[in-house]
Amino acid sequence: MITPSAPPRRATKVPRWVRGVLAAGAASTLALGAVAVVSSSASAAASTLGAAAAQSGRYFGTAISAGKLNDSAYTTLAAREFNMVTAENEMKIDATEPSQNQFNFGPGDQVYNWAVSHGMQVRGHTLAWHSQQPGWMQSLSGTALRNAMINHIQKVMAHYQGKLAYWDVVNEAFNEDGSRRQSNLQATGNDWIEVAFRTARAADSSVKLCYNDYNIDNWSYAKTQGVYNMVRDFKSRGVPIDCVGLQAHFTGGSSVPSNFQTTISSFAALGVDVALTEVDVTNASTSQYSALTQACVNVARCVGITVWGVRDSDSWRSGESPLLFDGSGNKKAAYNSVLNVLNSVGGSTPPPTTAAPTTAAPTTNPPTGNCTATISAGSIWNDRYNLSITVTGSTTWTVTMTVPTPAKIIATWNITATWPSSQVLIAKPNGNGNTWGVTIQHNGNWTWPTVTCTT
């Protein structure tokens, strides 16, 4: 089999359209040259965390509180910098099911709607946890609690069905010594975690299902090994699990261990995505922020980083000033260290190895206004690929992009985005020029999106 001479850094599988191009031989590959292939290494360094992470197909997220959505300094900053959102408290059990089987999605929906109206994806957090349980759940045990957990997962996931990128199905279920944490949920039987995951997969097969915990950053720590062994066991027995979240709270006395990348790559080697889900660092040490970012970008399946709040004043550990923006919304030194690491990856990603897919939809649709949108290939990974879009003929354009199901648009940069659905994106200029991009999770369908440009 012919393989690309310079494979993308992280691709291990050649997409069908690339195989087609390769099989057709060099001459027809050249004949496809009408589509300009833009090397991402030629693009300028990105100026926001979300855009910088997107250059390597990753996201950069934050925790958002519904109660702060009327603070325009907060929302402006968050919308500018991030492209993934976790509700800080609004999708937890006590928030969504305050009385048994009476659900309240108001605050969770506020966070969700704010995120998607700003072109961001959402991580759900969290469905089964010993903490932040409503009073009625705290007092349940045995079969009644097991059934209540199942009902909670089913109802909450039904509400957000098809809308979220990830769900933290189970949070913080281990002790520091690697054994299971005692809790009312654990007392229902050791299988409660796998029951939660199986229930979750049945409730929404579109969302990636994660186990999330803190103090699982140091590879040689007993708790890390305990969680690792559970995930390995789940994978070997077919219990549905797609991702592991390392909360990465390097606050309250902990710091980034020197073997952090080993931990990330070891989890990833089990066949799960890994994400840093709740990052904060005491006094926002620049070296620790660089190190944790570098460890993530060095591992192909480390899909993104979420910091646990926007400004220091928003942090649950505000006394440690652990975030990337100060209380006035100014960028801190740690912000630049993170951005630089993300840009160093984006800038060194090799260009795609071939021209456009043979099966692609027309790359330039007849303009219905007096503008034209041209799509170029970007980086390719196993599960997703980037496209760069350049609009000519107008500076006040609207581009509608449609991807074929089951593909999904999972990230954008350099546009103001609205999302009628995961398959349809409406893009408008955000003041950063006329070249912008998307990351598409192909889910098996590599056909490029169609675009129409109107003015």
The binding site for ligand XIL (CB under 6 A) comprises 88-89, 171, 247, 278, 316
Nearer to ligand XIL, 149 or 342 (CB): 149
Give me the least distance between CB of 167 and ligand XIL, in Å please.
13
Strand partners, 122: 85
Give the strand pairing for 372-380 and 302-307.
unpaired
Cα–Cα nearest to 426, from 163, 119, 164, 165:
119
Give me the least distance between CB of 280 and ligand XIL, in Å please.
9
Give me the least distance between CB of 108 and ligand XIL, in Å please.
13
What is the rounded distance in angstroms from the CA atom of residue 84 to the CA atom of residue 411? 8
Nearer to ligand XIL, 247 or 398 (CB): 247
Handedness of CA 64, 67, 73, 76 (dihedral sign): positive
Nearer to ligand XIL, 8 or 107 (CB): 107
Give me the least distance between CB of 157 and ligand XIL, in Å please.
18
Nearer to ligand XIL, 252 or 271 (CB): 252
Nearer to ligand XIL, 63 or 341 (CB): 63
Nearer to ligand XIL, 8 or 226 (CB): 226
Give me the least distance between CB of 313 and ligand XIL, in Å please.
13
Task: Locate 370 and state its tokens.
Answer: 């007096």
Annotation marks residue 176 as catalytic: no
Which residues have C-beta within 8 Å of that of residue 12, sequence separation ≥ 6? 382
Give the strand pairing for 424-429 and 415-418.
antiparallel
Give me the least distance between CB of 452 and ligand XIL, in Å please.
41
- What letters, b where the CB count within 10 A reaches 16 and e where it falls short, cover 123-155? bbbbbbbbeebbeebeebeeeebbebbbebbbe
172, 176, 194, 320: the catalytic one is: 172
Give me the least distance between CB of 281 and ligand XIL, in Å please.
14
Give me the least distance between CB of 88 and ligand XIL, in Å please.
5
Annotation marks residue 172 as catalytic: yes
Nearer to ligand XIL, 184 or 443 (CB): 184
Nearer to ligand XIL, 88 or 273 (CB): 88
Residue 164: count of CB within 10 angstroms of its CB:
20
81, 90, 194, 278: the catalytic one is: 278
In order of 64, 88, 126, 267, 298, the CA distances from 123 in angstroms are 11, 10, 9, 19, 22
The residue sitting closest to ligand XIL, measured at its beta carbon, is 316
Catalytic residues: 172, 278
